[in-house]
Amino acid sequence: MKRVVTIITVIAMIFNLTACGSKAEQRFESSFLELFDTVTTIVGYAPDEKTFTEYSQMIYDRLEEYHQLYDIYHDYEGVNNIKTINDNAGIRPVKVDQKIIDLLEFSIQADQLTNDNVNIAFGSVLSIWHDYRTIGIDDPLSAELPPTEELQEMAKHTDISNVKIDKEASTVYLEDPLMKLDVGAIAKGYATEMTANYIIEQGFINGMISVGGNVRTIGTKFDDAGSKIPWSVGIQNPDQDSTQPTVHILQLEDMSLVTSGVYERYYTVDGKRYHHIIDPETLMPSELFQSVSIVCKDSGMADALSTSIFNMTLEEGKELIESLEDTEAFWILKDGTYEYSTGFETYIRK
Amino acid sequence: MGNKMLKRNDMIMMGIVLLIALISLGFFFLNKKEGSAVIITVDGEIYQQTELDQNNTIKIKQDNGDYNEVIIEDGYVWMTDADCPDKLCVKHNKIHYDHETIVCLPHKVVVEIVGGEENTVDIIAK
Ligand SMILES: [Zn+2]
């Protein structure tokens, strides 16, 4: 088991005069690179470094469990994960941890909510793109687009009703032998949410977990006088040549912010960029936006919505967001224009 | 004569006050700069620590051949080159504020500013 190192120690010391009397709480930060193929950062308040390191370790251990269960590329000894389910498509049902069944049920609900725009049964199409992208990034000169026929052939094997979940037996079976699950659009946010809920129960009540930029805030932070103030969470500027790293700063308390953008994971064919968010209808990268950001309570839902809204037109996306309670969205269009859902601006720090 | 003395004393007094102010101001700035470090870690171990206000080019060469190049210029830090496959570290915005980082995940390289100008954001969603 990996031991988390508290890389950064005390940033600020505050005196938190709460109901339980005068108690000094310090702000700490830790981070690690091992999980979900990204950087995880934890920020929060604890009475001392030892306590904070314990919280960080608990968060690490829980996230690591999700990381292994939701992995579609690697095997882990003694673990049946999503890859095991994929490997057994059309062969046999796989007995899995309840955490996998919970994720799949959550994902199926999210897909229904978003008019089939975040389909976890889309893995066979996404894996073609993944392979071509990987080759194209490793060796830009031999970068190619996936053949349309191949994409269309695989798109026939994406019917989510062929994912058979037996809750009593705790098994998952893909009836279509050519089907694959890909939970990449949802697993990180879902795992972050579950881990946040778990660590709150352990007493970590003022903090923030970011798994690769999927940000879940827990309670508030404190200003120098010890008063509660919301966390300040920036939204990445798609223009990475800018010295301005963010386009907006949001003030969040117990809320999640997830941004789906096309500025990081892409490859280039004949001078044109092809990113990783694939429209289920065209089977090609969605071309409308540079990024879509979602604010809502549940980090798993924020993750699922950011991808699905990315695949919708602005009008469709707005209609969906306005129909959801306590859920807001911010679009950066291809030409750089900003669009907002009606309540989004209340979160923007003035 | 008495008046003149008073004036001279006043002048001296003002001079002392000004001197103290200048010294403390200088001390403040020196201290501030001293606190602004650029810390580079590879797989959690410190590879190099240097000053943010010192223009510098740092080549990070690992035993396995992994290579990254960091430039520090006028208080800003960025990755100019790397032989990692995704090049996300090279695409990353320049950093300047306290606790901002640039990460090269494939090479496990983290470049971090510690003690720089106060950051007005706690984290960035991306
Ligand atoms: Zn890199």
3-state secondary structure A135-153: HHHHCHHHCCCCCHHHHHH
Nearest to A217 by CA among A198, A232, A235: A232
Give the up-direction half-sphere exposure of residue B33: CA atoms within 13 A in the CB hemisphere.
10
Q: Are A217 and B89 in contact (CB under 8 A)?
A: no
- Eight-state DSSP code of residue A345: G
Average pLDDT, chain A: 92
Cα–Cα distance list, A25 to A15, A233, A298 (Å) = 6, 21, 27
What was the pLDDT predicted at B117?
Answer: 86
Q: Is residue A12 within 8 angstroms of chain B, CB to CB? A: no
Window from A83-92, A270-279, A287-296, B28-37 with minimum mean pLDDT: B28-37
Q: What percent of chain A has pLDDT over 90?
A: 84
Q: Which of residues 57-76 of B touch A (CB under 8 A)?
A: 76
What was the pLDDT predicted at B14?
Answer: 59
Tokens encoding A294:
């979602």
pLDDT tens digits for range B1-39: 445 555 666 656 656 665 655 555 444 444 444 568 999
pLDDT tens digits for range A109-150: 999 999 999 999 999 999 999 999 999 998 889 999 999 999
Interface test with chain B among A220, A243, A250, A292, by most B beta carbons within 10 Å: A243
Cα torsion B82, B88, B90, B92: sign: negative
pLDDT confidence tier of residue A241, bands split at 50, 70 and 90: confident
In angstroms, the CA A161 to CA A186 distance is 18
Give the distance (Å) from ligand 1 centre to CA of residue A215.
22
Domain boundaries, chain B: 1-32, 37-125
Q: Is residue B96 within 8 angstroms of chain A, CB to CB? A: yes
Q: Are A182 and A123 in contact (CB under 8 A)?
A: yes
In angstroms, the CA A34 to CA A181 distance is 23
Ramachandran class of A342: left when φ > 0, alpha when ψ lies in -120 to 50, beta otherwise: alpha
B50 has pLDDT over 70? yes
Contact A43 B114 (CB under 8 A): no
Contact B121 A233 (CB under 8 A): yes
Q: Is residue A1 within 8 angstroms of chain B, CB to CB? A: no
Give the distance (Å) from ligand 1 centre to CA of residue B123.
20
Q: Are A289 and A257 in contact (CB under 8 A)?
A: no
Per DSSP, the three-state class of B44 is coil
Per DSSP, the three-state class of A57 is helix
What was the pLDDT predicted at B8?
Answer: 61
What was the pLDDT predicted at B40?
Answer: 95
Q: Which of residues 3-22 of B touch A (CB under 8 A)?
A: none
- Neighbouring CB atoms inside 10 A of B13's CB total 10
- Neighbouring CB atoms inside 10 A of A283's CB total 20
What was the pLDDT predicted at A265?
Answer: 86
pTM (2 decimals)? 0.88
Q: Is residue A265 within 8 angstroms of chain B, CB to CB? A: yes
A62 has pLDDT over 90? yes
Nearest to A204 by CA among A62, A97, A320, A7: A62
> Å from A96 to nearest chain B CA?
30
> Of A25-29, A214-218, B44-48, B114-118, which has the strongest mean pLDDT?
A214-218
Contact A293 B108 (CB under 8 A): no
- Eight-state DSSP code of residue A122: G
Tokens encoding A184:
């990449």
For chain A, give the number of residues: 350
pLDDT tens digits for range B95-107: 999 889 999 999 9
What was the pLDDT predicted at A179?
Answer: 98
Q: Please state the CATH superfamily assignment of the domain spanning residues B37-125 in this structure.
A: N-utilization substance G protein NusG, insert domain (2.60.320.10)
Could you give the residue ranges of the DSSP H alpha helices within chain A? 49-69, 82-87, 98-113, 123-138, 148-155, 187-201, 299-310, 314-323
In angstroms, the CA A17 to CA A24 distance is 8
In angstroms, the CA A32 to CA A41 distance is 7
CATH number belonging to domain A82-174: 1.10.3980.10
CA torsion angle A64 A68 A69 A71 (round to 10)? 130
Tokens encoding A285:
């990268």
Q: Which of residues 26-45 of B touch A (CB under 8 A)?
A: 41, 44
pLDDT confidence tier of residue A188, bands split at 50, 70 and 90: very high
A6-69+188-347: CATH architecture: Roll (3.10)
Q: What is the chain B residue with the closest CA to A7?
A: B44
Tokens encoding A85:
């389910």
Contact A257 B125 (CB under 8 A): yes
Contact A245 B86 (CB under 8 A): no
ipTM exceeding cut-off 0.95 for this assembly? no
Nearest to A266 by CA among B32, B88, B57: B88
Cα torsion A13, A17, A18, A20: sign: positive
Domain boundaries, chain A: 6-69+188-347, 82-174
Mean predicted confidence (pLDDT) in B49-76: 95
